[in-house]
Copies of this chain bind each other. A is one copy, B any other.
Amino acid sequence: MKVFLFDLMHYKGDLDRFAVDGVLPHRLGRRHFDAQAAIETYAQHLDAWEEMERVGFDGIGVNEHHATPFGLMNSPNLLAAAAAMRTKRMKILIYGNLLPLHEPLRLAEELAMLDCLTGGRLIAGVARGAQREYRAHNVAMGESRARFDECVDIMRRAWTEEVFSYQGQFHSYEDVSIWPRPVQDPHPPLWVPVTGSKDSIEWAARNDIAITPGVSAAGTAREDIIRYYAQCQAEEGRKVTPGHLNFMVDCYVADSKAQAIKEYGPHYMYCFNTLIKYDHPTQDFNQKGYYSQTAHEHMRSGAKGTLADISMFNSRMTEEGLKAQAEHMAWGTPDEVVERIITEADQAGAETVLLMCNRGAMPQEMFLNQIRRLGAEVLPRLQAHKVTRVPFAEGVGAGV
């Protein structure tokens, strides 16, 4: 297996002191911002990525968020450029640029530059983004799908054609040859997270793009997504392999489950009760045309358990609830962490795992300690494990 760390890069400053009845103000403004905390956030995370490479991680994942201390990577591409300087071997996964919010030609140029700056180590994840980002950048959520599709078309043509012209719904270009071009041929791999929408699965399958199926292993969503993806891939004459799949998992290594909960619990709760809640969606995505009418019809649970299910943003995590939840998580001894991850990888048939181990703006020493323990006690066993089959894809399309 390949092991990446997915870094959320929360702002380091303490925000709970601004909360009223446990809720942050509608907007955190300039007066709430501590520049020193932001400087430290970036510096410490970049130090940590350097350490990740030393201890053997296969890749670092970054993402795009706007106008929130939940994540300081408004431009994940800037962090990828910085990471390119701090690492020599690891893959750099941008997961992902929120395509509907980008000018496609500029994004194609940036990703081409990053592929050169990393010497071909870029994985160019693409995503649609959440309500907050659309609101900040004033893009209609109902245009999300059309903008996404157009952006990918333009990027691929800018990367691969000698000279391209394009007449789109949102963007048009004439007689353009970008310079530089990507290093990887024909272009950096695209990955896409599939949090539930049928249209995303069909698009990924049609374009043979690797997916992250579902936000967790809970329920039947992941299975339904993989089955439908395999079916769509079969229609294109392709089989889904472990290389097509990756998954995210929360983990924390400690000497025992109890110690993990004691150490990591407060940070994990800060992530869910404070950071995620800031400027959280108050209206259902479905109201805005973000999801199509049929987006969830391939799933037995419908939208439940997907990102369209906003109930997850409206509940408050308690210590008791966390303890119960942690029983089933990859928190605890290295043995437990390894076994849970391998079980989940084998179930999904996924070759790559994206670990999340630093929720809640933990102190740097704690983050570095996790990276070192993961490197010494978890990575070698995961990297030695080989995922050979995709169980949910077996039999699919056999009759086609």
B106 and A137 contact, CB distance less than 8 A: yes
CB of A181 closer than 8 Å to a CB of B? yes
Partner of A179, one of B11, B117, B160, B174: B11
A72 and B114 contact, CB distance less than 8 A: no
A60-74 interface code vs B (CB 8 A; 1 in, 0 out): 000000111100111
Copies of this subunit: 2
- Which residues of B lie under 8 Å from residue A43 when comparing CB positions? 119
Q: A27-B163, A72-B179, A117-B42 are in contact. Are A79 and B81 (CB under 8 A)?
A: yes
Q: A74-B110, A109-B74, A183-B35 are in contact. Are A173 and B136 (CB under 8 A)?
A: yes
- Which residues of B lie under 8 Å from residue A75 when comparing CB positions? 77, 106, 109-110, 113
Please report the C-alpha to C-alpha distance between residue A270 and residue B66 in the assembled complex, in whole angstroms: 43
A85 and B46 contact, CB distance less than 8 A: yes
Q: How far is the CB of A51 from chain B (nearest CB, A)?
A: 15
B178 and A66 contact, CB distance less than 8 A: yes
A144-188 interface code vs B (CB 8 A; 1 in, 0 out): 000000000000000011110000000111111111111100000
B113 and A74 contact, CB distance less than 8 A: yes
Please report the C-alpha to C-alpha distance between residue A38 and residue B178 in the assembled complex, in whole angstroms: 13
CB of A14 closer than 8 Å to a CB of B? no
Please report the C-alpha to C-alpha distance between residue A66 and residue B11 in the assembled complex, in whole angstroms: 33
A190-221 interface code vs B (CB 8 A; 1 in, 0 out): 00000000000000000000000000000000
A355-367 interface code vs B (CB 8 A; 1 in, 0 out): 0000000000000
CB of A30 closer than 8 Å to a CB of B? yes
With CB as the reference atom, state the residue of chain B lying closest to A66.
Answer: B109
B69 and A33 contact, CB distance less than 8 A: no
- Which residues of B lie under 8 Å from residue A180 when comparing CB positions? 11, 33, 35, 38, 72, 74
A7-45 interface code vs B (CB 8 A; 1 in, 0 out): 000010000000000000001111101010011011100
Which residues of A71-101 are within 8 A (CB) of B? 72-75, 77-79, 81-82, 84-86, 101
A103 and B103 contact, CB distance less than 8 A: yes
B116 and A31 contact, CB distance less than 8 A: no
Partner of A78, one of B81, B103, B136, B160: B81
CB of A138 closer than 8 Å to a CB of B? yes
- Which residues of B lie under 8 Å from residue A81 when comparing CB positions? 78-79, 81-82
B11 and A163 contact, CB distance less than 8 A: no
- Which residues of B lie under 8 Å from residue A82 when comparing CB positions? 81-82, 84-85, 117
Please report the C-alpha to C-alpha distance between residue A105 and residue B139 in the assembled complex, in whole angstroms: 12
- Which residues of B lie under 8 Å from residue A177 when comparing CB positions? 27-30, 67
Partner of A138, one of B160, B173, B181: B173
Please report the C-alpha to C-alpha distance between residue A67 and residue B75 in the assembled complex, in whole angstroms: 21
Q: How far is the CB of A187 from chain B (nearest CB, A)?
A: 11
- Which residues of B lie under 8 Å from residue A102 when comparing CB positions? 106
A31 and B162 contact, CB distance less than 8 A: yes
Please report the C-alpha to C-alpha distance between residue A81 and residue B113 in the assembled complex, in whole angstroms: 13
B30 and A160 contact, CB distance less than 8 A: yes
- Which residues of B lie under 8 Å from residue A117 when comparing CB positions? 42, 78, 82
A136 and B38 contact, CB distance less than 8 A: no
Selected A-B contacts with CB under 8 Å, 29 pairs = A27-B162, A28-B177, A29-B163, A30-B161, A30-B162, A31-B162, A33-B179, A35-B116, A38-B181, A39-B116, A39-B119, A41-B116, A66-B178, A67-B178, A68-B179, A73-B113, A74-B106, A74-B110, A74-B112, A74-B113, A75-B109, A77-B78, A78-B113, A85-B86, A103-B103, A105-B137, A135-B175, A136-B176, A136-B178
